[in-house]
């Protein structure tokens, strides 16, 4: 049972430097693991000092920030590190749709961090020593249709493309789900380890059953400095270096994909500009190559003007055109009409925030909801007026393979 800080006497929070822990994910106990790891650095946590389900609605991020201010502000802090992610940290997952239930914030009782050559451990109260249990393979995995079958989803894509050609909107991002069932309970630690090893450049995360490895950094705040990585435009990897090169060149030259990327960059630029005293966006995207796909990618950097916390920036940015569409309001309306499912946390913000408002939040792509022996996997893509339903289905299938690999090895 979690103990909410601020509802009883403030609990002591202590952060102390520790030696290099090696593989952060290997430190996790089986129960309720939390993680945010990239290239071997990041945070893992366990236990619950405080947990809240965030009420849905347009003010959910403001509500979350107020709750965190009460919870983290009441802590008695002994911090010998004083760096971003030291002291009390909350992990969070917000649903894609602001009207959907299921957004959650958790302050773990213990957080182990490694950043920039340093490592530290934060404990809240008398953080219990968790009993380590061996990681167990889930056994054979079987798959079944999610909310829509493949032909039904292709039909939805065709309907969306027709509405774009009719001028209702420029772009909409449509997702689909796939249901996986294992022989034995799925150990989240095994999924995290496989994802982190296979996709080290991605942010491997685990928050309240939502597990994945996202290539897309929605926002990082360190003091007043912010950074975002915008991805839009995708092609599968090739059969070898020459095919990779050809596919990457075709992606870079694709009018459809370049327009999709320009929509995403414009969305981020228009959202961040009012919050920033300086904002830099590149003139041209670059190619980001992952083990299964290539993306058009653009790094955006800036400096906040008024000291907003990372959650304030998340509130302003979500949903981006890369996961919603353009214009945003119309795209969300079309998603609700056509997609035929509740995305839950898929394509929503996922990440962490500390007591100073610093943090890192990604978009929960390449992910699944895990409960017991079952996992609900998600994938999707940007639909334009000239999108081919069969090609969009193939792209979604390629994205499913990330979590299928995590399950099957």
Q: Are 335 and 172 in contact (CB under 8 A)?
A: yes
Q: What is the pLDDT of residues 143-196, one digit of tens each?
A: 999 999 999 999 999 999 999 999 999 999 999 999 999 999 999 999 999 999
- Helix (H) or strand (E) segment spanning residue 152: helix 150-165
Q: Which residues, other chains included, contact 281 with Cβ-Cβ below 8 Å and sequence gap of 6+?
A: 265, 268, 269, 298, 300
What is the end-to-end Cα distance of the chain in Å, rounded? Answer: 33
Q: Which residues, other chains included, contact 243 with Cβ-Cβ below 8 Å and sequence gap of 6+?
A: none
Q: 399 catalytic, yes or no?
A: no
Which backbone phi and psi does 95 adopt, to 5 degrees?
-65, 155
Q: 216 catalytic, yes or no?
A: yes
CATH class assigned to 12-132+141-408 = alpha beta
48, 154, 170, 171: which one is catalytic?
171
Query: Any idea what DSSP says for residue 130?
Result: P
216, 260, 392, 395: which one is catalytic?
216
Domain residue extents for the chain:
12-132+141-408
- What distance in Å separates the CA atoms of residue 3 and residue 230, rounded to the nearest whole number? 37
**DSSP 3-state of 3:** coil
What is the number of alpha carbons within 13 Å of residue 14 lying toward its C-beta?
Answer: 7
pLDDT at position 320: 87
Mean pLDDT value across the chain: 91
Q: What is the pLDDT of residues 235-254, one digit of tens each?
A: 888 889 999 899 999 999 99
Residue 251: count other Cβ atoms within 10 Å of its Cβ.
22
pLDDT at position 307: 75
Query: Checking DSSP bridges between strand 12-17 and strand 76-79, what pairing results, if any?
Result: parallel
Residues of the chain with pLDDT under 50: 1-8
């Amino acid at each position: 049972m979690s103990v909410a800080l601020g509802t009883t006497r403030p609990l002591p929070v202590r952060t102390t430097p520790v030696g290099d822990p090696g593989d952060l994910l290997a430190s996790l106990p089986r129960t309720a693991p939390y993680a945010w790891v990239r290239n071997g650095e990041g945070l893992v946590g366990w236990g619950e000092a405080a947990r809240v389900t965030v009420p849905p609605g347009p003010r959910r991020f403001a509500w979350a920030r107020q709750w965190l201010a009460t919870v983290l502000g009441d802590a008695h802090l002994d911090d010998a590190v004083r760096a971003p992610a030291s002291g009390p940290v909350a992990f969070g997952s917000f649903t894609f749709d602001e009207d959907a239930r299921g957004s959650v914030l958790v302050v773990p009782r213990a957080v182990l961090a490694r950043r920039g050559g340093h490592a530290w451990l934060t404990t809240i109260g008398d953080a219990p020593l968790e009993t380590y249990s061996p990681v167990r393979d889930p056994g054979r995995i079987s798959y079944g249709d999610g909310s829509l079958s493949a032909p039904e989803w292709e039909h939805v894509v065709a309907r969306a493309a027709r509405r774009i050609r009719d001028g209702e909107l420029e772009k909409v991002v449509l997702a689909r789900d796939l249901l996986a069932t294992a022989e034995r309970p799925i150990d989240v630690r095994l999924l995290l380890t496989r994802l982190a090893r296979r996709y080290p450049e991605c942010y491997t995360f685990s928050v309240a059953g939502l597990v994945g490895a996202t290539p897309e950094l929605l926002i990082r705040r360190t003091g007043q400095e912010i950074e975002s990585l915008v991805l839009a435009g995708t092609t599968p990897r090739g059969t070898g270096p020459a095919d990779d090169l050809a596919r990457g060149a075709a992606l870079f030259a694709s009018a459809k994909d370049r327009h999709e990327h320009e929509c995403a960059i414009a969305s981020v630029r228009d959202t961040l500009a009012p919050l920033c005293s300086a904002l830099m966006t590149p003139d041209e995207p670059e190619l980001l190559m992952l083990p299964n796909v290539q993306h058009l990618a653009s790094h955006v950097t800036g400096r906040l003007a008024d000291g907003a916390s990372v959650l304030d920036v998340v509130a302003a940015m979500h949903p981006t055109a890369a996961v919603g569409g353009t214009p945003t309001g119309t795209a969300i309306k079309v998603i609700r009409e056509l997609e035929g499912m509740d995305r839950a946390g898929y394509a929503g913000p996922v990440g962490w925030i500390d007591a100073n408002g610093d943090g890192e939040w990604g978009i929960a792509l390449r992910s699944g909801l895990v409960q017991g022996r079952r996992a609900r996997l998600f994938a999707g893509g940007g639909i334009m007026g000239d999108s081919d339903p069969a090609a969009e289905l193939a792209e979604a299938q390629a994205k499913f393979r990330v979590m299928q690999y995590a399950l099957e090895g």
